[in-house]
């Protein structure tokens, strides 16, 4: 690696840190996973640190003699400065720097080395971005590059938390969450669902799966609007439908306007025109954001969501749908690509600390069975989707297969719930207005029997 004078480093600190580890080998395990040999500026120091880590991992003694022997065995002793240099480093912390606060002093050396390494990484990232900007690369690609790589540079610092701090952190979370009652998350608008999940909670990846025309987009839009009604800021990435089409659906469901009329305004009655105006007035108040660019790769979804949260606030994301998320450009099979996409979506939920609801089309295997109720196995590339999701919801309507227009019943199965119960929620679907509604068990049973009209 080419050294540059303007890059930050502290060679004295590096030597002192290595001297402390050689004299206090019990400290090595504290830093083995937090500091890498590449974090050292001086190549010789990196070699010595790598030798210390090898010895410790092999449960061998860590001292000056052992380090010299290990470096000689790997034919790197001369590159590391020879016996004289190892001896000098071993003596570097003796006797003035070794004392009652050795652990604290070693920790401080570690922090300085890591801070310098992170600053160097940041410098290189921005230098690369600047070079690519001069070459004419588009701005969004450059910003995505920086946003993807800067967190990686920052994440070199250890994120481990000790048990004392963890206890305090959990206590604070407990008090804050308990005050919110039985539904600490964002309310879905469906009471039975909220009772089982506690609402849409932070850092949660929710997959909503269904066959085509089951109503998954309508249900997801109902979730989004219900969250907006409670003051939440929601961003919908509509990779299949346009923003106008989604707005028409909102007008239909919230204004009880015939969905076919909402898409052909000339068919709307004066009463429907008035209802649409009322809904539009509410849209002006809600914090609903729709991005309808097609085939967005997950990196751009992440980037735009991060920008939205920073600039205007963001409490929840809905993505319609998983199968339309674009490729990042690499040629690989869809299963491997899906593995990366779902992992990135889960990472997005964790970093932004918001719930992310992702729609997913189920495989055709459902159609070949007598029992059409979906299962987890019906998720396309089901292994990776099921693995990364915290909650998997599967939507089913009998009427889709029976063609019985009077049957308004729908079922929402919680097929997976990482932190809670599974089960089935009964809903009512109003196809004319593309709206799902919560129902109690008695009402649902009546609807199933056909005793209650649409």
Closest CA to 392 of 360, 366, 350: 360
Where in 230-340 does DSSP place strands (E)? Answer: 233-238, 287-291, 316-320
Active-site choice (85, 148, 157, 240): 240
Active site residue 240: yes
Residues 298 and 344: beta-carbon distance below 8 Å: yes
Residue 326, helix vs strand vs coil: strand
User: Would you give the DSSP letter of residue 379?
Assistant: B
Sheet containing 287-291: which strands, arranged edge to edge? Answer: 287-291, 233-238, 316-320, 356-361, 205-210, 391-396, 409-417, 423-430, 435-438
Q: How far apart are CA 54 and CA 31, in angstroms?
A: 13
Q: How far apart are CA 71 and CA 18, in angstroms?
A: 15
Parallel/antiparallel/unpaired status of strands 233-238 and 287-291: parallel
Bridge partners (DSSP) listed for residue 412: 395, 425
Question: Any residues with CB less than 8 A from the CB of 406 and at least 6 apart, and which?
Answer: 450, 453, 454
Q: How far apart are CA 56 and CA 70, in angstroms?
A: 11
User: Which pairs with CB-CB distance under 8 Å and at least 24 residues apart come from 56-63?
Assistant: 56/25, 56/28, 56/29, 56/32, 57/32, 61/25, 62/21, 62/22, 62/25, 62/28, 63/22, 63/25, 63/90
The four Cα atoms 323, 361, 302, 436 give a dihedral, to 10 degrees, of 150
Q: Which residues are catalytic?
A: 240
């Amino acid at each position: 690696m080419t050294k540059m004078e303007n890059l930050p480093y502290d060679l004295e600190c590096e030597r002192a840190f290595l001297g402390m580890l050689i004299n206090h080998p019990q400290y090595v395990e504290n830093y083995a996973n937090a500091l890498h040999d590449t974090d050292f500026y001086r190549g010789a120091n990196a070699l010595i640190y790598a030798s210390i880590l090898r010895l410790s991992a092999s449960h061998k003694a860590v001292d000056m003699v052992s380090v010299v022997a290990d470096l000689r065995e790997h034919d790197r002793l001369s590159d590391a400065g020879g016996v004289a240099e190892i001896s000098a480093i071993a003596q570097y912390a003796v006797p003035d720097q070794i004392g009652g606060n050795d652990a604290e002093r070693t920790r401080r050396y570690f922090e300085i080395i890591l801070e310098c390494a992170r600053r160097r990484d940041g410098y290189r990232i921005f230098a690369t971005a600047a070079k690519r900007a001069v070459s004419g690369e588009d701005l969004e690609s450059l910003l995505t590059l920086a946003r993807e790589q800067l967190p990686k540079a920052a994440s070199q610092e250890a994120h481990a938390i000790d048990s004392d701090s963890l206890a305090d952190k959990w206590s604070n979370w407990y008090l804050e969450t308990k005050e919110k009652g039985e539904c600490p998350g964002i309310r879905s608008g469906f009471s039975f669902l909220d009772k089982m999940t506690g609402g849409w909670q932070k850092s949660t990846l929710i997959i909503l799966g269904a066959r085509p025309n089951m109503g998954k987009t309508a249900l997801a839009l109902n979730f989004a609007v219900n969250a907006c009604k409670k003051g939440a800021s929601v961003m919908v990435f509509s990779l299949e439908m346009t923003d106008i089409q989604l707005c028409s659906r909102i007008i239909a469901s919230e204004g009880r306007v015939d969905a076919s009329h909402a898409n052909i305004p000339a068919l709307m009655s004066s009463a429907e025109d008035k209802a649409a105006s009322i809904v539009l007035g509410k849209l002006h108040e809600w914090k609903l954001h729709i991005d309808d660019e097609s085939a967005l790769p997950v990196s751009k979804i992440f980037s735009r969501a991060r920008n939205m949260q920073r600039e205007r606030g963001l409490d929840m994301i809905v993505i319609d749908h998983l199968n339309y998320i674009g490729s990042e450009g690499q040629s690989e099979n869809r299963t491997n690509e899906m593995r990366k996409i779902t992992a990135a979506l889960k990472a997005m939920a964790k970093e932004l600390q918001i719930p992310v609801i992702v729609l997913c089309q189920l495989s055709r295997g459902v159609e070949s069975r007598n029992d059409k109720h979906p299962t987890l196995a019906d998720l396309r590339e089901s292994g990776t989707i099921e693995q990364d999701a915290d909650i998997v919801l599967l939507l089913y309507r009998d009427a889709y297969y029976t063609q019985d227009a009077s049957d308004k019943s729908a079922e929402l199965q919680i097929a997976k719930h990482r932190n809670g119960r599974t089960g089935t929620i009964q809903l009512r679907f109003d196809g004319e207005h593309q709206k799902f509604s919560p129902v109690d068990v008695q009402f649902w049973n009546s609807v199933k029997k056909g005793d209650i009209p649409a």
